[in-house]
């Protein structure tokens, strides 16, 4: 399959590399010049579960996307949420009749942005539990296992989506079709809406946060705000199940000792965060549906304060 990874950061590198290893024709489109130059010069280098892997994947600057001759069957967008609109604008001329656009970003409401550029029958919306990191330009750190779920936004789109799922599974990405993708997206947003902002502000890993005396009450209050908003979008979140998913992040033997990606972005690298697309999205939706969201509002404001204090870009 001819595949464009639009946004070749940590996650884009993982998906691009695994799809390239499975003999698909993969190209990267990205906006970070140093990263692009390094990959084109030396290949994408990855620490892939402890093994050094180098892959030659052609990489182009997003501002030159309209000049690329590549009839993609699939575009996987993997920008940060606040970069998605501009990336879609850059790649819109590469979307042909046959092209599907798959979005696996964390956060809520990305379909509204993608639908500005392409109709529902081209869009696959999903959610992933894979993880990835970047150690520097052209250098990815890819550990562990994961899976992903996706759904076509077109009610007759399941059969075509299955073709994409087959390609993802040949690359061992563990994909499956979901008939309730919004529910999965909300569940993952609850994990990010608690762990990411709280660990970032408290300067803690997930396990240490989970052992604080107020952790349960704070997490429950935030999850309830997500659940109350979700109801207005016909999504019934099972709070108990969601709390279990959040608490599984406290496990020191699995991911508990890690800092969430928001911590890495803001505290370690002074980069802007996705807070407006996670807790901030709940605040906006809460206003629309008349649902109070004080915890999400406070968390969003505090993260923005921290972004300003650190002069995040
Ligand atoms: P990322 O920050 O690694 O990459 C996103 C974009 O930012 C890419 O275009 C990349 O080139 C650019 N970028 C990265 N570091 C940069 C730097 N130092 N200077 C300039 N540009 C830089 O993002 P990601 O972690 O791949 O996440 C993509 C999406 O997937 C997000 O919505 C994220 O929440 C979600 N997600 C991430 C993970 C994870 O483990 N990383 C897991 C699940 C979902
Ligand atoms: C995560 N972490 O999504 C991934 O740090 O942004 C993040 C993130 C998979 C399972 C649990 C947490």
Residue 188 designated active-site? yes
The catalytically annotated residue of 38, 188, 285, 306 is: 188
Q: Are 111 and 121 in contact (CB under 8 A)?
A: no
Query: One digit per residue, pLDDT tens: the chain, 313 residues?
Result: 999 999 999 999 999 999 999 999 999 999 999 999 999 999 999 999 999 999 999 999 999 999 999 999 999 999 999 999 999 999 999 999 999 999 999 999 999 999 999 999 999 999 999 999 999 999 999 999 999 999 999 999 999 999 999 999 999 999 999 999 999 999 999 999 999 999 999 999 999 999 999 999 999 999 999 999 999 999 999 999 999 999 999 999 999 999 999 999 999 999 999 999 999 999 999 999 999 999 999 999 999 999 999 999 9
State the distance from the centre of ligand 2 to the C-alpha of 260, rounded, in angstroms. Answer: 6
Cα gap 223→32, rounded to integer Å: 35
Atom of ligand 2 nearest to the CA of 128: 9
3-state class (DSSP) for residue 100: strand
Task: Give yes or no for residue 152 CB within 6 A of ligand 2.
Answer: no
Question: Atom 1 in ligand 1: which residue has the minimum CA distance?
Answer: 9
Question: Ligand 1, residues 63, 140, 261: which to mutate, most atoms within 8 A of Cβ?
Answer: 261
129 CB near ligand 2 (under 6 Å): yes
> Which string of DSSP letters, residue by residue, matches 115-174?
TTTS-GGGEEEEEE----EEEETTEEEE-S---EEEEESSTT-HHHHHHHHHHHHHTT--
Dihedral pair phi/psi, residue 306, rounded to 5°: -65, -40
Ramachandran area for residue 269 (φ above 0: left; ψ -120 to 50: alpha; else beta): alpha
16-to-20, 78, 248 alpha-carbon distances in Å: 6, 10, 28
Task: Find the residues whose C-beta lies inside 6 A of ligand 1.
Answer: 7-12, 30-32, 35, 78-81, 83, 105-106, 128, 131-132, 134, 261, 269, 274
d(CA 84, CA 229): 24
Looking at all shown ligands, the one closest to residue 81's CA atom is 1
């Amino acid at each position: 399959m001819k595949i464009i990874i639009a946004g070749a950061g940590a996650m884009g590198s993982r998906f691009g590399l695994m799809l390239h290893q499975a003999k698909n024709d993969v190209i990267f489109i990205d906006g970070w010049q140093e990263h692009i130059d390094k990959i084109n010069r030396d290949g994408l280098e990855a620490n892939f579960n402890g093994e050094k892997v180098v892959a030659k994947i052609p990489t182009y600057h997003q501002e030159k996307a309209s000049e690329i001759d590549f009839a993609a069957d699939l575009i996987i967008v993997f920008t940060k949420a606040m970069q998605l609109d501009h990336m879609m604008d850059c790649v819109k001329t590469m979307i042909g009749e046959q092209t599907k656009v798959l979005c696996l970003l964390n956060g809520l409401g990305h379909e509204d942005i993608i639908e500005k550029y392409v109709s529902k029958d081209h869009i696959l919306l999903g959610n992933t539990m894979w993880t990835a990191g970047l150690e520097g330009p052209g250098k990815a750190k890819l550990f562990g296992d994961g899976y992903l779920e996706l759904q076509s936004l077109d009610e007759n789109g399941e059969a075509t989506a299955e073709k994409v799922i087959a390609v993802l599974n040949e690359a061992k990405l563990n994909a499956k079709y979901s008939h309730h993708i919004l529910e999965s997206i909300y569940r993952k947003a609850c994990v990010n809406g608690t762990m990411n902002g709280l660990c970032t502000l408290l300067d803690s890993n997930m396990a240490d946060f989970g052992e604080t005396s107020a952790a349960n009450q704070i997490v429950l209050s935030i999850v309830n705000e997500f659940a109350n908003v979700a109801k207005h979008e016909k999504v019934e979140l099972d709070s108990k199940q969601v709390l279990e998913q959040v608490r599984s992040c406290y496990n020191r033997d699995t991911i508990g000792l890690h800092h969430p990606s928001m911590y890495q972005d803001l505290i370690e690298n002074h980069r802007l965060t996705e807070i407006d697309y996670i807790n901030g999205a709940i605040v906006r939706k809460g206003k629309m549906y008349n649902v109070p969201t004080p915890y999400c509002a406070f968390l969003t404001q505090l993260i923005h304060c921290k972004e300003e204090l650190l002069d995040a870009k």
